[in-house]
Amino acid sequence: MPFVSFKNTNTFYKVQGKGKTNVVLLHGFLESSEIWKEYSKALSKHFTVISIDLLGHGNSQSVGYVHTMDEMAEAVNTVLKELDVRKVVLVGHSLGGYVSLAFAENYPDKMKGLCMFNSTALSDSEQKKEDRKRAVEVVKQNHELFIKVAIPNLFADQERHAKEIKRILKFALKTSKQGVIAAISGMMQRPNREIILKFVPCSTFYVIGKRDMVVPYEVAIEQSQLNENGSYYLSEEGSHMCFFEDPQAYSHLKKFIASC
């Protein structure tokens, strides 16, 4: 498997396709690059697709007990340097969106496009930070139980998407206790990056689920319009996992990437 060394650990990545535009897919919390399997296969027919396992997820190792968004973005940049890739369209789901914004702030010259996929530029509210602190304590006691409860709650219609939930749980349960705690702690510390959305030197695009329980759709729509070249797709049926819940999301994402 292809790895790059980052802070004396291995970060996993996968490259598919040979298109002129480089697309980087970043997964969400408790996920891995496996979440993008169908998307990366389809997109690779038109673009070069780079899927990366974020720190402590999938086949990538942890570097500590706090993985900040900036540190995760640095790991992504290490992969891009290894591949000699200079410009990218970043597509980040949830946590991956937080990392994408950190990347955009730290490496603006490398930005060709930014897609926030069921994600937000806001920092955690005080209530959310308290929730995350409690989550860390639960993870310390039984991190497998935490994962088994957390994944189904990402879907508005759990019965309809039972197959997808089972699939995600299969690789989510491989996430180590350290990886889970480090991600939660990093998300809790992340700053508000709405200003980055406004001034990032590229077009932005939001995929928004109207039934999203994590990112309120009204908030996401408002953020999508901060950039003068910002746009969005609102999925009426989608919640926090639009790539599984709404087949139309793919075509809208592909169209955005092609426009960058």
Q: What are the tens digits of pLDDT across the range 186-200?
A: 999 999 999 999 999
Q: What are the tens digits of pLDDT across the range 26-63?
A: 999 999 999 999 999 999 999 999 999 999 999 999 99
Is residue 8 within 8 A of residue 60, CB to CB? The reply is no
pLDDT confidence tier of residue 113, bands split at 50, 70 and 90: very high
Domains and CATH numbers, the chain: 3-259 (3.40.50.1820)
d(CA 12, CA 32): 10
The residue among 143, 136, 148 whose CA lies nearest residue 184 is 136
Q: What are the tens digits of pLDDT across the range 225-259?
A: 999 999 999 999 999 999 999 999 999 999 999 99
CA-CA-CA-CA torsion for 87, 91, 95, 100, nearest 10 degrees? 30
Q: What is the CA radius of gyration of the chain?
A: 17
